[in-house]
Structure 1
Amino acid sequence: MKEVKSYKSILFQIQFVLFLFGLLSFQNCFELHTESKAENHLQQSIYLIDRFYYWSEEEILDPDSIPNENWIRIEEKVLGFKKREKEFLYIKFSDQFIRQLQSPILYSELALESFKVVQGKEIVYQTEATDFIFPHLIPLNSDPKGFIYIQFQSRYTGFIGMDHDVIFKNHSQALIELFMENFSKTFFAPILLVLSFIFMGFYFLRRKELVFFNFSILLLSASLIEALNGFVGFSLRQYATYIVPLTFLNFTFFPFALLLFLISVFPPFFRNLFKLIAFLHIIVFFISIFRHYENGISFLNSEEGYNWIVVLEAVVAIVSSIYVFAKGNRKVREIIIGILIIVIAGLHDTFVDLEIINNQFRIIHYGFFLMLGFFGYYVFKHYWELLHSINRMNAELRTKNKELQRLILIDKDLALAHALQKSLLSSKFNEDEKIRIIGFSQNLESVGGDYFDHTKDSMGNWAILIADVSGHGISSAMVAAMSKMAFVGAGPYLQFPARVFHLMNRHLVGKTKNLFITATYLFIDIESYTATFSNAGHPSLFLIRNTETEVKLLTAKGKPLGLFSQQTYAEETVSLKPKDRILLYTDGIFDLLNEEGESFGEDRLKSLLWEYRYHNIQDLSSILQDSLFRFSNGWRHQMDDLSFLLVEIK
């Protein structure tokens, strides 16, 4: 039975991946906002163009009619103002830059209110949507009309105008850049959604483990934030009536979902504290919504009403995390790290909204990914510990049960199989006046599928066979016995190696029960000093000849025995010389491993044979056995049965 691995080895790999992910996120946080990118935007930005503004108590249908002396120049890098009640804001700037663009648009990264765009005297874009948080791609006429006018009318109490970057671009370029900038959100959103369903399934499997349910809700909320706040949300802008409320509600719900998750993992005192804050969070949210109700709900205005509760939640989370960490509770250290990451990211985002700090770039989405990574690691570890404890108990029961069966039955089978194995193998040493043979075999278990045979015909010629049955153990030993009988049945044709394999294969096909046999057969004619050999899917022979520059490979084509009927085998013949040596072996030698996991391999075997080619055959066999033994640290890293036969021509 396969041993159950410790979950700690897998958790270490997850920690490593999480560390790399955090490092990449930290790096991208700066790479996405390099000076080169900012300079590239400023080349087309209207912030480099002279811009003018004008306040009016009444709507002006033709902004081009406003006298030039009434326009006021806007300060550098400014395109928005504090709102004036019941007044319209008009902004104008030149449209001469569109001459350089094939399909010009005006790209607005973030607009917070209803506005109308006029190019010359023509209205080219108009929106009545409120609380719109996605970019606008405003198509322009390709022929300059002199000026572009934007009329703003806003319910938002804190700001009127355009926010963030406002840039001239080609339409296709803007779409591509928008998709690439939001690629991570678009890509991770479905992954988070799938993970949410997975952990919800964990909850139904373990109904008492509320942590899985709460984490599933947290993942679902994060998935909606990443999807609706990115390229997908922009693509669904025609459904802004539904998408915008869902987005803002989810922004509010995410801190609540985070509190629910913390309730399920923190100690009892903090659970009650988080429950109180979660309840207060909901109350403050609805109070803020109703306070800013004016001709419909304004989520942007109400957002400022509950920012303070978000800051309070952040402070409580930091204090409680530091306290739990100081008490040495290692079980929730991943949660503490995740909390600190999302709190820092969330506070940064909130302080930007409150204009406490300047907005250079937002880190909230990187905080999402890192927080969910650490939280996911904690939940996975928790679930894995449950599974591991159950698997460990089941494994112990299965092991004890199998051990009882082995005490009663397996010992008898092994004893019988071992006796059969001994009868299969020829003696490990044989010789006459022309040939000397030395063999070696090391089974992975008490019995195996390797065997070799060597015999003389009536003329004194030698027939030598080495075979390897797939797998190892009792089943392989039984098939090896069948192969032995098949080889004995081919005795009248020993001088024809291909014929021997043909007869053996015909006898074995359909009888080996999905096992197969690889083999090499060698027939040595002592009068002509030639060796004829055939191969049935087995490793090639090695010829060690002192007059050669290296060990020579003897190969012949052929498929394993017992698989295909009507199979033909090739024969090859090589001339022999006195002092020549031939090594027949099984692939268990190649598969032998050392402590570092390296295999013994063909090259190492060839080098060993060539280095000690001048030793006598007994010493060469001992050196080979000792090298294999030491390489595998006393057969501790043996992966398969292994055998070899050394044949020397006198």
Structure 2
Amino acid sequence: MKLYLISLLVFSFSLFSEPVEVSDLKNETLNILPFLENNYNLVNEQDLLKVIHSDEKNWEISRSPVAYVYPGGGTHLWTRFSLKNSGSTEVPIFISIKEFALDKIICYVVHENENMERFQGGSSLPLKYKPIHMIDSLFPVHLSPNESIKIYLDIQSDLIAFTQIEIFSISSLLDYFLKNYVLTGIFYGIIIFMSIFSFSIFYYLRDYSYLYYFGVMFFDGIYQLSQSSLTTYFVYPENPEINTSIWYFAFVMSLFFATLFARDFLNLKFYHTKLHRTLGIMSLVIFLFLPLPSLINENIMYIALTVGFLYILGFYISSFYVYRKGFQPAKYFILGWSFLLLGKIFSIIPIENYYYSEYSSALGSSLQMLFVALAILSKMNRLQIEKDEMSNEITGIKKELNLAEKMQLSLLPEGVPKLKGCDLAAYYLPMKQIGGDYYDFYVKDPQSFTCFVADVSGHGPAAALVASMLKVAFKASHSYYHRPEAALRKMNTSLLGNLGKKFVTAVYAHFSLRSNILTYCSAGHPAIMVHKRNEDKVIYLECKGQFIGWFENIKLKEHQYKFASGDRIIIYTDGVIEAFNEKHEMFDYDNFEIAVKSNASMNAEGLNYFIAYRVKEWIGFAKEFDDDITILVIDIP
């Protein structure tokens, strides 16, 4: 694999390397070296020994802040510099080299007496073999009074990489560690806070976009830990060679969750279904990049940079689109991903001031988290506004429903007719929503009366409106009170074309107490139940017919039944027999008959309440009814 190793070098106008004075080094850190000299011919330590006193032409002086080095098919970059102690006391210093993606670093310290010290570091070297157990390569060097030394570095890597060579005194090294620990603590504190924040919102709202962002935070934390080599230090100090693979895996997984987060947070399913589908596919395609570094002869850094850019470009397109559609939180989303992208780019490409490169990834992630937090708060504020608007609308609807409910109840008769020849009782139990049950009576004289029971399909104000139309139609049919079929046809004509998508089932029943004759006609309504209490037998007065309100020439047929003393006649709506319990079992006719037969001695009103109680018990007292319940009981003495 063609190898590109980038080393951050320092600009110089001198023609030859001069030693760096370290005698006055106290609290300072030497971040800028006068010269670094590169050599492309050295391969191993034996070659180094040959050229220590050789012609200086073997070394090239860099004049650029950043040098792009292309070793001739090898993996080594040799660089050297000189240090000088002009003071009269010994000077202890530390040579620090940032080692992420630098597999192996060998430091040779050549003293004036030609003694040579050899230190080893690099990201693939277990901590126990390093001279100082730190996450970066740290080499201790002592300069005697008036001594000059030469430092030779052999840097090896299979990846594109760049580094900074820094010279620390003891005090400056401690200051550096302190600042670094504080900044690291702040950064990971932000990650932990945002993780808890996003997961809490998910737990409260059950919005999976926030769970996806929790995944982004989790894997971005691993990404940052591996890039700073903290995972090597704390998790796998004996196997540091896997750190780059962990870094790449965390990168891919954070991008996977980021894609899902962008898709759902931006509500693309509502704004643009194709973009929603595209990001969904992208979230799956990202897994194809996991084995890519081992399958193609290309640098993992280039792959990560290219893939990340393409995916964030997709986020930009989606964000700009929904922002133009009026989704204001998208502007924070755009800013957040912009800072994240810049941070990642600066973390894997060399720039002159390495300080920005060292912390750019963490800084970009921090700014991204800040703007995503603003986006989340903006979205929650938007949701609250929409919730308030919906609450106002719901309040208005509830007022309308209450008005409709009052209107529906006002349609029903205030009581039942008081007749000497029978005991009559009516019971109406509305569902939580406005239902469509309606019943009414018409008394011609003390020896005859008419009952009408109807059930409008559906619920809500529309059903209540149809019920009000039924009341008018029923009154208009009074001239046919003793002819139920003619009365229903009259009502059908009145309702025809005025019900929209609604329809009505009904039963029209006329009782003649003189002749003990029940004349009835059904329009698709449940059969009338007759409990012959003297025989303890239940029969049903079947009567087929079409529902009213849709067809002009409906099929109806009038029937008669001669009732006897002791008969109990029950007219009801399907809300009684079609009540379901938690096991999805229907109350049905069997339970209805049991409730009726077991209370044969109870009066009509008491039976109504008992049936209603049994139905409530069947479905569960805490559960709302799915339909209205209307029951008329007529007892013949």
> Shorter-chain TM-score category?
0.3 to 0.5
TM-score between both structures, scaled by the size of structure 2: 0.42
TM-score, structure 1 as length reference: 0.41
Greater share of helix residues, 1 or 2?
A: 1
* Structure number, greater radius of gyration: 2
